[in-house]
């Protein structure tokens, strides 16, 4: 806890850094952190989609899950798989999924359906650093 009420955060040496470090620690790694809960959701979703439990997602597993839970068309699912498959192995590893998942949620999926058409899904939407590009 850093009490700062009534103190000038910019005038008092070191106070700004203390407050910012505490905020980063709490928001990124605290018990209720959005970053932490997003990672847990991603891990749980991967496990649900991985029907055969082999630790990678194949097209048939991804298609079965997405067809049941979204209105995505086959070509959208195939393109999403291609874009998420960073190493071009033909399947999605847990690492690839966890890296792409927040960007997919933030930039592509809204209310259970894909926002853009399959030809508009690009690697830059998934593999870019930071947040997903606006479409």
pLDDT at 36: 67
Give the rounded percent of residues in the chain with a pLDDT score beyond 70. 67
Q: What is the pTM of this model?
A: 0.57
Higher pLDDT, 26 or 96: 96
pLDDT of 40 > 90? The answer is: no
Other C-beta atoms lying within 10 Å of the C-beta of residue 60:
10
Higher pLDDT, 122 or 70: 70
Burial of 69 (0-12, 13-18, 19+ CB in 10 A): exposed
Is residue 125 within 8 A of residue 103, CB to CB? The reply is yes
pLDDT tens readout for residues 49-77: 999 999 999 999 999 999 998 888 899 88
Is residue 133 within 8 A of residue 124, CB to CB? The reply is yes
């Amino acid at each position: 806890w850093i009490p700062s009420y009534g103190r000038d955060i910019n005038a008092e040496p070191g106070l700004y850094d203390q407050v910012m470090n505490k905020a980063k620690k709490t928001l990124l790694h605290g018990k209720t952190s959005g970053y932490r809960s997003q990672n847990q959701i991603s891990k749980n979703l991967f496990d649900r989609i991985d029907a055969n439990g082999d630790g990678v997602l194949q097209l048939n597993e991804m298609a079965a899950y997405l067809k049941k839970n979204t209105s995505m068309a086959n070509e959208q699912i195939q393109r999403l798989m291609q874009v998420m498959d960073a190493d071009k192995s033909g399947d999605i590893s847990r690492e690839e999924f966890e890296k792409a998942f927040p960007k997919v949620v933030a930039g592509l999926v809204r209310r259970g359906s894909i926002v853009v058409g399959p030809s508009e899904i690009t690697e830059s939407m998934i593999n870019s650093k930071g947040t997903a590009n606006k479409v």
